[in-house]
């Protein structure tokens, strides 16, 4: 024995080590392979014998011996399976160790033997020329083999898959034609309604005859007033004869639909059971809450987003269409960016965290399914402004704001069209699109007008004007196309010329505002936090037309209907005010 | 861990909840009637426990932390810098071996070989073609950094950072010479594999490069049997044939090869000048050593023949691309079956007239049940994928033709070489050849500078005197424990 | 042979150098271009694979197609949704012989579900993940006949996060999705 070892080792302990490790590895490997072949896949999942026994038991339910047999077999099966698992794992580690040892030993032996070549005298100085002929044939051969392989694979290929839309129709009949190509309301319908925060037209109502006066005490001019159906800071939207908004405490977030006829809740849906909803406390301050973002509609479905990153879509009559969880959104005040729609698509701007976090994104979702049409990472931090959708320079654009950039994207594919560096602070007032200009409010800093037909960084080239008089910090300006009205939180009302940005007038209201101004006809509506409503003339000189205390507190921007009413959401009540024209219609 | 079920003893609380009486009958009827419709309300309202029982928390073990991904990138970058330093500055094989072992441990066994540079090709491709897929920065770094290094310094990544390469390099015990024709013939496979990987990744069908990776199962010590066997077989082959996967399969190696062909710096056998001693001629186990051209006369004769071949190859180029594209076009249908949606759509059409299966459902039955909900959508998707393949496979076929044509072109190109030097593309920068060079031994102080002939200003290739090399050989050989 | 030798044909050397420089410039430019194209689509946070429980059809492929011998997919229990039934349709075979823990009554092939008595008539069911192989038999029973509180999830302490999940390609429900690594679970919840 010792002589055999000596011969194998050749007097060298590394040689011996290599032999032992090598033989051990080979034997172990063979043993494991044999074990594997012998056992096959002894999954306990499909155990035919166990199944058969269980079937037998159904025929003889009282057979105790059979039960014992099943239990014994079950135990054996499970033990075999888990023993095999642990054995395989141990075996692999041993094998790895043995192979490593073998390699180390061999390396040592090779080191010991290393001998670099020695040239003999008289060998010709240069090597013979290479013969590349064989190489050429080998390349050609590989290519030919591959070609034959592909050819054989494609031989006799048949597929039942229809080749084009016509063949598909032949199989399943024509595609349902009642589904329009674009499943959304027309731009004209959108203009007549109030499909999003600030409506479809920069805070200007379709009707020019919205209420001019009302009286809380006598009820004159008030269609109805109901206690707020659900708490929340978001503003109502209007489609047809219904208003929609979201609300509720964090544990019961709801989408509500109210009949404009009587103020009764037509339907309310709790947004629950969304897979991926973040768990635990999201530390969202109560002053913002989970329902700060305003809903949006494309005239076929209504959409809501909540501060926990859940987005929900319901049909106009309240049936569930889809829900989607984007996960917790990093935002010190809670997510507050409202939704916007374009055709049957939903724009979701999720700006969050810091610009370095790389978490901010702009999404375009398919409104019918909730699928992501495109998404665009944004290298910006948290923001609170609502994106604005508009048509300019022959493109459907959406402009999204976050410090320091105003960036416009092509809605078709999400490609970036242009950007302007003009924002400071915590951007909250939203952009509006008026008279071919995009009016951007950098809070308490300046209002900037941008011509939206540029490409790339157009900071230096496409700013039409800027104005730093009484710039609002929370509310969004409203415009009738000629003049723009803005109000600061502290109550300074300012009127600017849209074309030039020159200040026309300013007036101190001495009230605090969170609700943005809105316009109908020649009236600008202002609803203060202290519950006072004021109407001023939308003209070149300041003129107060109406003032009334309403015994409520307003943070939400009102919504207007095509038939001259307006829906106002107070903290205590939901109001519907009717215009003078409504009085005539309903004698 | 107990493998034993608790013995069958009647548990306390013998009463069955009333709601459960006849439950099976009821639910089976419901199931047969209306399928497994999910009720909005829970069927069995969660109880209010009188005993104050607290519900256990559903645990959620976290995924790998993001900072670890940055650590991977840092290790990769640091490793590439170290490898380049060992190759160019230290000229140290020992350093590269140490790096290889570190890489096998970190990128191999610790990170389980995923995500690796080889697979990252597919991630980048998918990011280009699928706007819904956001590319993780880690995958991007694994794709870009090795290539960026290759363009500057050659294949530093292959030398000691890639765990796949390192593994093969360390098992290479008895290198055999692969004949040049076989080397060239199989050398086009990586490009074709790359093309196929890109094709299937771009169409969202499969990541075939990952699916058929032979070494990942070894790093995981777990995997499909076929791939485990393939991995072990390839490693056994690797004992005799240097880096078989790298040379004849690796698709990322193909990219690195292209990069290193145009690299700014290159690996040289000698740290100083070539004495044409021929000692390094057989030093390369990967067939990457290129020898000096034979004398001027032989050169001129070969040149004329090569010109003719070059012309043929140029003419062949469009022919081969066209033929490849045609073959690829014919191959579009079968190739599209790599996409699961196409497969299930065809199954759906085959099973269209049959009623849904009942009883014990196989996974395939359940899948069919799912797509039956909206067959039009599945078929439309499958048709879209088939269309993508109708475009993609001819391009793939054309690419194969192009690869063959360029290979033939390069074989017909005549290069005049004066020194022994590693091929820019084929060299893995493994540093094995360095110590074969007497000039290197002078640099390391093993030989005196006087032991080798001085740089000869006259271009007269003559056999150098053999004497110094005997010295060189014994200088190396003396390190061994064994006598000659 | 030596540097002077290569000067014998300076034109050729220059041309080759020029081609190489041009090639390198092209390579760098195309690499940069590619980088520019995908950089906008890249993000720091990685993805992990997860099962969307609303799409899962509990076909059983998770047990057999994971690259790991014992699948990284495990049954997970949303206790808040559980009815704590005495006759658990996930735990027991259809038409069990008796409502006890004898092997002849149990569905789970590896005895990974533990049944413990809480109070009359409620029982708690917990999963031993070391034993669970993700075969989804219990999920099938619980979802089709019970509250659906048992569901499959990829457990990230076991998952090796393959670049492309092997199960995702055979998933009968098309339920495998890439999710952000910071939110790696799609748990079932009920308010």
Rounded to an integer, the average pLDDT of A170-195 is 74
Q: What pLDDT shows up at residue A291?
A: 92
Q: What pLDDT shows up at residue B461?
A: 45
Residues of A in contact with B374 (CB under 8 A): none
**Does one domain contain both C66 and C23?**
no
Residue among B16, B55, B148 minimizing CB distance to C121: B16
Contact: A273, C191; criterion CB under 8 Å: yes
Residues of C in contact with B7 (CB under 8 A): 101-102
CA B14 to chain centre: 60
Interface check A127 vs B, CB under 8 A? yes
CB contacts < 8 A, B to C, total: 275
Residue among A123, A130, A172 minimizing CB distance to B180: A130
Contact: A161, B379; criterion CB under 8 Å: yes
What contacts A38, CB < 8 A, 6 or more positions away? none
Q: What pLDDT shows up at residue A6?
A: 59
Residues of A in contact with B363 (CB under 8 A): none
Contact: C183, A276; criterion CB under 8 Å: yes
What is residue A570's DSSP assignment?
B
Contact: B366, C172; criterion CB under 8 Å: yes
Contact: C57, B370; criterion CB under 8 Å: yes
- Asked whether the CA dihedral B290, B295, B300, B302 is positive or negative, the reply is negative
H or E element: which one contains A559?
Answer: strand A559-560
CB contacts < 8 A, A to C, total: 85
How far does C83 lie from chain B, in Å, by closest CA?
Answer: 4
Contact: C40, A82; criterion CB under 8 Å: no
Closest CA to A568 of A228, A170, A328: A228
**Does one domain contain both C159 and C95?**
yes
**Hey, which of A407-421, B74-88, B422-436 has the most confident mean pLDDT?**
B74-88
Closest CA to C176 of C78, C80, C71: C71
Helices (H), chain C: 3-6, 10-39, 61-65, 137-145
Residues of C in contact with B459 (CB under 8 A): 1-2, 4-5, 8
pLDDT tens per residue across span B157-168? 999 999 999 999
Taking CA atoms, what residue in B is nearest to A154?
A: B331
What is the C-alpha end-to-end distance of chain A, expressed in Å?
120
**Does one domain contain both C101 and C29?**
no
pLDDT tens per residue across span B439-474? 888 888 888 888 777 775 444 444 444 434 443 333
Alpha-carbon gap, residue B329 to B318, rounded angstroms: 16
Taking CA atoms, what residue in C is nearest to B43?
A: C147
Q: What pLDDT shows up at residue B107?
A: 94
Domain with C26 in it: 3-39
The model's confidence at residue A127, banded by pLDDT at 50, 70 and 90, is low
pLDDT tens per residue across span B50-73? 888 899 999 999 988 888 889 999
Cβ neighbours, 10 Å, residue A223: 21
Interface check A74 vs C, CB under 8 A? yes
pLDDT tens per residue across span A423-462? 988 899 999 999 899 999 999 899 999 999 988 899 989 9
Residue C41 forms beta bridges with which residues?
none
The answer to whether residue C58 sits within a structural domain is yes
Q: What pLDDT shows up at residue A575?
A: 94
Q: What pLDDT shows up at residue A466?
A: 92
Cis peptide before A404 (omega within 30 of 0): yes
What contacts B24, CB < 8 A, 6 or more positions away? C94, C95, C145
pLDDT tens per residue across span A200-237? 889 999 988 889 999 988 888 999 999 999 999 999 99
Strands A483-487 and A478-479: antiparallel
How far does C43 lie from chain A, in Å, by closest CA?
Answer: 7
Please answer whether residues B364 and B408 qualify as being in contact, where contact means their C-beta atoms are separated by less than 8 angstroms. no
Strands, E assignment, chain C: 42-43, 47-51, 73-77, 113-119, 122-127, 150-154, 176-180
How far does A267 lie from chain B, in Å, by closest CA?
Answer: 17
**pLDDT above 90 for B124:** yes
Taking CA atoms, what residue in C is nearest to B146?
A: C31
Contact: B66, C47; criterion CB under 8 Å: no
> B451 or B365, which is more confident?
B365
> B418 or C5, which is more confident?
B418
Contact: C102, A67; criterion CB under 8 Å: yes
pLDDT tens per residue across span C153-162? 999 999 988 8
The model's confidence at residue B222, banded by pLDDT at 50, 70 and 90, is confident
B93: phi then psi, degrees, rounded to nearest 5: -70, -35
For C54-69, letters b (16+ CB in 10 Å) and e give bbbbbbbbbbbbbbbb
**pLDDT above 80 for A542:** yes
Rounded to an integer, the average pLDDT of C21-25 is 92
Please answer whether residues A554 and A527 qualify as being in contact, where contact means their C-beta atoms are separated by less than 8 angstroms. yes
Domain ranges of chain A: 2-99, 187-585
Contact: B333, A159; criterion CB under 8 Å: yes
Q: What pLDDT shows up at residue B24?
A: 46
Residue among A36, A116, A141 minimizing CB distance to B185: A141
Q: What pLDDT shows up at residue A278?
A: 80
Q: How much is the mean pLDDT over chain C?
A: 87
Residue among C20, C31, C76 minimizing CB distance to B58: C76
Contact: B66, C157; criterion CB under 8 Å: no
Please answer whether residues C56 and C148 qualify as being in contact, where contact means their C-beta atoms are separated by less than 8 angstroms. no
- B288 backbone φψ class: left, alpha, beta (φ>0; ψ -120 to 50): alpha
B303: phi then psi, degrees, rounded to nearest 5: -60, -40
**Hey, which of B79-83, B305-309, B347-351 has the most confident mean pLDDT?**
B79-83
Taking CA atoms, what residue in C is nearest to B201?
A: C164
Residue among B1, B15, B63 minimizing CB distance to C184: B63
Taking CA atoms, what residue in B is nearest to A89?
A: B221
**Does one domain contain both C109 and C138?**
yes
**Does one domain contain both C95 and C24?**
no
| Structural domain count, chain C | 2
The model's confidence at residue A119, banded by pLDDT at 50, 70 and 90, is low
- Residue C169: helix, strand or coil by DSSP? coil
How far does B121 lie from chain C, in Å, by closest CA?
Answer: 11
Interface check A93 vs B, CB under 8 A? yes
**Does one domain contain both C65 and C147?**
yes
Interface check C102 vs A, CB under 8 A? yes
Residue among B8, B24, B137 minimizing CB distance to C95: B24
Q: What pLDDT shows up at residue A159?
A: 81
Contact: C67, B115; criterion CB under 8 Å: no
pLDDT tens per residue across span B281-324? 888 999 898 888 776 666 677 777 888 888 998 999 999 999 99
pLDDT tens per residue across span A240-254? 999 999 998 888 899
Closest CA to B3 of A571, C110, A192: C110
B296: phi then psi, degrees, rounded to nearest 5: -60, -40
Residue A362 CA: distances (Å) to CA of A408, A413, A438, C36: 11, 12, 19, 19
Please answer whether residues A346 and A364 qualify as being in contact, where contact means their C-beta atoms are separated by less than 8 angstroms. yes
Q: Please report, rounded to a whole number, the percentage of residues in chain B having pLDDT higher than 70.
A: 84
Cβ neighbours, 10 Å, residue B174: 10
Contact: A75, B5; criterion CB under 8 Å: yes
How far does A519 lie from chain B, in Å, by closest CA?
Answer: 40
Residues 135-174 of A with CB under 8 A from B: 135-143, 146-147, 150-151, 153-154, 157, 159-164, 168, 171-172
CA dihedral of residues B355, B357, B358, B361 (deg, nearest 10): -160
The model's confidence at residue B13, banded by pLDDT at 50, 70 and 90, is very low
pTM flag (> 0.80): no
Alpha-carbon gap, residue C184 to C157, rounded angstroms: 11
The model's confidence at residue C179, banded by pLDDT at 50, 70 and 90, is confident
Rounded to an integer, the average pLDDT of A87-113 is 88
Closest CA to A143 of B408, B163, C87: B408
Rounded to an integer, the average pLDDT of C16-23 is 88
How far does B25 lie from chain A, in Å, by closest CA?
Answer: 16
How far does A249 lie from chain C, in Å, by closest CA?
Answer: 12
How far does C25 lie from chain B, in Å, by closest CA?
Answer: 9
**pLDDT above 60 for B7:** no
Strands A456-457 and A416-421: parallel
Alpha-carbon gap, residue A248 to C41, rounded angstroms: 36
CA dihedral of residues B24, B30, B35, B41 (deg, nearest 10): -90
Residues 173-232 of A with CB under 8 A from B: 175
Contact: C180, A327; criterion CB under 8 Å: yes
Least confident of A140-154, A270-284, A306-320, B269-283: A270-284
Least confident of A406-415, B74-83, B184-193, C39-48: C39-48
The answer to whether residue C57 sits within a structural domain is yes
Please answer whether residues A327 and A183 qualify as being in contact, where contact means their C-beta atoms are separated by less than 8 angstroms. no
Residues 132-161 of B with CB under 8 A from A: 132, 134
Please answer whether residues B459 and C4 qualify as being in contact, where contact means their C-beta atoms are separated by less than 8 angstroms. yes
Residue A547 CA: distances (Å) to CA of A18, A535, A578, B308, B372: 99, 6, 16, 97, 63
**Does one domain contain both C121 and C143?**
yes
pLDDT tens per residue across span B378-430? 888 999 999 999 999 999 999 999 999 999 998 888 777 888 889 999 999 99
**Does one domain contain both C7 and C96?**
no
Q: What pLDDT shows up at residue A581?
A: 67
**Does one domain contain both C8 and C97?**
no
Interface check A366 vs B, CB under 8 A? no
Closest CA to A352 of A381, A376, A309: A381
**Does one domain contain both C62 and C114?**
yes
Residue A243 forms beta bridges with which residues?
A238, A258
Least confident of A427-431, B5-9, C6-10, C141-145: B5-9
Q: What pLDDT shows up at residue B451?
A: 77
**Does one domain contain both C57 and C120?**
yes
- B451 backbone φψ class: left, alpha, beta (φ>0; ψ -120 to 50): alpha
Third-level CATH fold of A187-585: Methylamine Dehydrogenase; Chain H (2.130.10)
How far does A220 lie from chain B, in Å, by closest CA?
Answer: 45
**Does one domain contain both C33 and C51?**
no
Strands, E assignment, B185-336: 289-290
The model's confidence at residue C11, banded by pLDDT at 50, 70 and 90, is low
How far does B398 lie from chain A, in Å, by closest CA?
Answer: 12
Interface check A327 vs C, CB under 8 A? yes
CA dihedral of residues A406, A410, A413, A419 (deg, nearest 10): -30
Q: Burial of C118 by CB count in 10 Å (0-12 exposed, 13-18 middle, 19+ buried)?
A: middle
Q: How much is the mean pLDDT over chain A?
A: 87
Rounded to an integer, the average pLDDT of B253-264 is 94
Taking CA atoms, what residue in A is nearest to C184?
A: A276
């Amino acid at each position: 024995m010792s002589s055999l070892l000596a011969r194998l080792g050749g007097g060298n302990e590394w040689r011996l080590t290599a032999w032992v490790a090598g033989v051990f590895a080979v034997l172990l490997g063979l043993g494991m392979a044999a074990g594997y072949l012998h056992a096959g896949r002894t999954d306990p999942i499909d155990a035919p014998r166990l199944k058969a026994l269980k079937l037998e038991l159904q025929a003889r339910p009282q057979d105790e011996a059979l039960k014992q047999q099943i239990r014994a077999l079950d135990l054996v099966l499970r033990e075999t399976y888990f023993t095999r698992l642990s054995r395989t794992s141990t075996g692999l580690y041993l094998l790895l160790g043995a192979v490593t040892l073998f390699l180390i030993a061999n390396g040592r032996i090779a080191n010991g033997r290393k001998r670099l070549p020695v040239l003999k005298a008289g060998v010709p100085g240069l090597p013979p020329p290479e013969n590349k002929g064989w190489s050429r044939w080998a390349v050609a051969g590989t290519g030919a083999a591959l070609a034959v392989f592909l050819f054989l694979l494609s031989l006799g290929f048949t597929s039942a898959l229809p080749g084009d839309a016509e063949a598909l129709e032949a199989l399943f009949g024509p595609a349902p034609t009642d589904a329009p190509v674009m499943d959304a309301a027309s731009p004209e319908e959108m203009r007549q309604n109030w499909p999003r925060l600030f409506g479809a037209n920069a805070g200007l109502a379709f009707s020019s005859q919205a209420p001019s006066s009302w009286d809380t005490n006598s009820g004159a001019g008030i269609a109805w007033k109901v206690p707020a159906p659900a708490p929340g800071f978001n503003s109502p939207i209007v489609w047809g004869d219904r208003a929609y908004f979201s609300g509720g405490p964090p544990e019961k977030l709801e989408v509500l639909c109210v009949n404009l006829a009587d103020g009764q809740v037509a339907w309310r849906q709790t947004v629950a059971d969304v897979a991926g909803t973040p768990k635990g406390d999201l530390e969202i301050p109560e002053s913002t809450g989970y329902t700060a973002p305003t809903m949006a509609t494309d005239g076929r479905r209504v959409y809501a987003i909540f501060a926990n990153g859940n987005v929900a879509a319901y049909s106009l009559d309240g049936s569930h269409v889809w829900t989607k969880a984007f996960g917790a959104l990093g935002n010190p005040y809670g997510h507050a960016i409202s939704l916007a729609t374009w055709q049957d698509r939903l724009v979701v701007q999720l700006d969050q965290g810091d610009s370095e976090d790389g978490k901010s994104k702009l999404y375009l979702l398919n409104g019918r399914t909730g699928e992501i049409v495109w998404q665009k990472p944004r290298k910006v931090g948290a923001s609170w402004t609502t994106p604005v959708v508009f048509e300019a320079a022959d493109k459907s654009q959406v402009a999204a704001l976050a410090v320091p950039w105003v960036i416009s994207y092509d809605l078709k594919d999400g490609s970036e069209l242009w950007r302007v560096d003009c924002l400071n602070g915590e951007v909250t007032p939203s952009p509006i699109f008026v008279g071919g200009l995009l009016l951007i409010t950098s809070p308490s800093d300046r209002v900037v007008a941008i011509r939206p037909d540029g490409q790339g960084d157009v900071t230096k080239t496409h700013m039409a004007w800027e104005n730093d008089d009484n710039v609002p910090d929370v509310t969004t300006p409203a415009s009738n196309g000629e003049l723009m009205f803005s109000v600061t939180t502290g109550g300074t009302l300012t009127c600017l010329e849209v074309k030039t940005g020159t200040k026309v007038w300013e007036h101190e209201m001495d009230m605090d505002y969170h609700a943005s101004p809105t316009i109908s006809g020649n009236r600008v509506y202002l609803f203060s936090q202290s519950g006072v409503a004021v109407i001023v003339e939308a003209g070149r000189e300041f003129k107060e037309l109406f003032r009334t205390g309403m015994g409520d507190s307003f943070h939400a921007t009102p919504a207007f209907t095509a038939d001259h009413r307006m829906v106002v959401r107070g903290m205590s009540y939901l109001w519907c005010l009717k215009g003078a024209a409504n009085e005539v219609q309903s004698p | 861990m107990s493998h034993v079920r608790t013995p069958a003893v009647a548990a306390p609380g013998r009463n069955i909840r009333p709601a459960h009486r006849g439950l099976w009958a009821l639910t089976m009827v419901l199931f047969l009637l209306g399928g497994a419709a999910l009720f909005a309300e829970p069927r069995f309202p969660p109880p209010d426990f009188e005993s104050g029982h607290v519900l256990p928390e559903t645990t959620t073990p976290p995924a790998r932390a993001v900072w670890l991904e940055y650590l991977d990138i840092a290790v990769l970058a640091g490793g590439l810098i170290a490898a380049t330093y060992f190759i160019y500055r230290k000229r140290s094989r020992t350093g590269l071996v140490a790096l290889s072992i570190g890489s096998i441990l970190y990128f191999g066994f610790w990170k389980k070989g995923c995500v690796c540079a080889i697979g990252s090709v597919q991630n980048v491709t998918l990011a280009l073609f699928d706007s819904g897929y956001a590319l993780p920065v880690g995958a991007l770094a694994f794709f870009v950094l090795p290539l960026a290094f290759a363009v500057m310094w050659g294949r530093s990544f292959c030398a000691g950072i890639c765990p796949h390469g390192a593994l093969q390099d360390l098992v290479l015990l008895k290198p055999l010479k692969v004949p040049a024709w076989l080397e060239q013939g199989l050398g086009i496979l990586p490009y074709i594999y790359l093309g196929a990987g890109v094709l299937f990744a771009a169409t969202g069908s499969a990541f075939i490069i990952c699916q058929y990776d032979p070494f990942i199962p070894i790093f995981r010590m777990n995997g499909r049997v076929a791939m485990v066997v393939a991995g072990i077989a390839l490693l056994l082959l690797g004992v005799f044939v240097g880096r078989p996967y790298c040379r004849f399969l690796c698709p990322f190696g193909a990219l690195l090869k292209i990069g290193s062909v145009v690299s700014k710096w290159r690996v040289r056998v000698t740290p100083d000048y070539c004495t044409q001693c021929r000692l390094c001629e057989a030093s390369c186990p990967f067939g990457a050593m290129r020898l000096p051209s034979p004398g001027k006369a032989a050169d001129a004769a070969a040149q004329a023949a090569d010109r003719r071949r070059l012309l043929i190859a140029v003419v062949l180029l469009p022919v081969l691309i066209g033929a490849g594209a045609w073959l690829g076009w014919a191959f579009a249908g079968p190739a599209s079956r790599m996409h699961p949606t196409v497969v299930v759509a065809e199954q759906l059409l085959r099973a269209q007239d049959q009623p849904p299966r009942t009883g014990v459902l196989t996974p395939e039955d359940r899948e069919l049940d799912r797509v039956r909900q909206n067959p039009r959508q599945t078929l439309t998707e499958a048709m879209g994928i088939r269309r993508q393949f109708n475009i993609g496979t001819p391009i793939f076929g054309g690419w194969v033709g192009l690869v063959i044509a360029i290979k033939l072109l390069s074989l017909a190109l005549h290069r005049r070489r004066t020194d022994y030097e590693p091929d820019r593309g084929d060299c893995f920068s493994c540093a094995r050849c360095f110590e074969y060079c007497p000039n290197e031994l002078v640099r390391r102080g093993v030989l005196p500078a006087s032991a080798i002939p001085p740089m000869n200003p006259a271009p007269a290739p003559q056999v150098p005197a053999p004497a110094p090399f005997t010295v060189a050989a014994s200088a190396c050989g003396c390190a061994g424990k064994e006598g000659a | 042979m030596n540097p002077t030798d290569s000067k014998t044909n300076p034109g050729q050397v220059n041309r080759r150098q020029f081609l190489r420089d041009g090639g390198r410039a092209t390579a760098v430019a195309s690499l940069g271009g590619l980088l520019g194209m995908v950089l906008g689509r890249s993000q720091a946070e990685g993805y992990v694979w997860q099962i969307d429980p609303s799409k899962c059809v509990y076909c059983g492929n998770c047990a057999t197609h994971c690259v790991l011998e014992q699948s990284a997919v495990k049954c997970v229990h949303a206790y808040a949704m559980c009815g704590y039934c005495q006759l658990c349709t996930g735990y027991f075979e259809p038409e069990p012989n008796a409502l006890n823990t004898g092997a002849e009554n149990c569905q789970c092939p590896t005895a990974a579900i533990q049944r413990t008595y809480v109070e009359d008539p409620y029982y708690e069911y917990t999963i031993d993940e070391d034993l669970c192989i993700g075969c989804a038999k219990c999920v099938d029973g619980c979802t089709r006949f019970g509250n659906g509180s048992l569901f499959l999830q990829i457990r990230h302490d076991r998952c090796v996060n393959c670049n492309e999940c092997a199960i995702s390609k055979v998933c009968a429900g098309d339920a495998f999705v890439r999710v952000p690594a910071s939110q790696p679970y799609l748990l079932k919840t009920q308010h």
